Amino acid sequence: MNNGTDRKDYIDVDDALKRVGGNMELLKKLLKHFLASTQLEPLEQALCRGDTEEATRLAHTLKGVAANLSLIKLRDISIELEHHIKNGSSYGGSLDELKQAFDTTAGYIAEVTG
Is 1 part of any domain? no
| pLDDT tens digits along 41-99 | 999 999 999 999 999 999 999 999 999 999 999 999 999 999 999 998 877 788 899 99
Cα separation, 63 vs 60, whole angstroms:
5
Residue 87: give the domain boundaries. Answer: 7-113
Is 18 part of any domain? yes
Cα separation, 26 vs 47, whole angstroms:
34
User: For position 70, which CATH number holds?
Assistant: 1.20.120
The total number of structural domains in the chain stands at 1
For residue 1, the tally of other CB atoms under 10 A from its CB is 11
Categorize the per-residue pLDDT at 5 as very low, low, confident or very high, splitting at 50, 70 and 90.
confident
Is 98 part of any domain? yes
Cα separation, 107 vs 60, whole angstroms:
23
- pLDDT reported for residue 90: 79
Is 41 part of any domain? yes
Is 103 part of any domain? yes
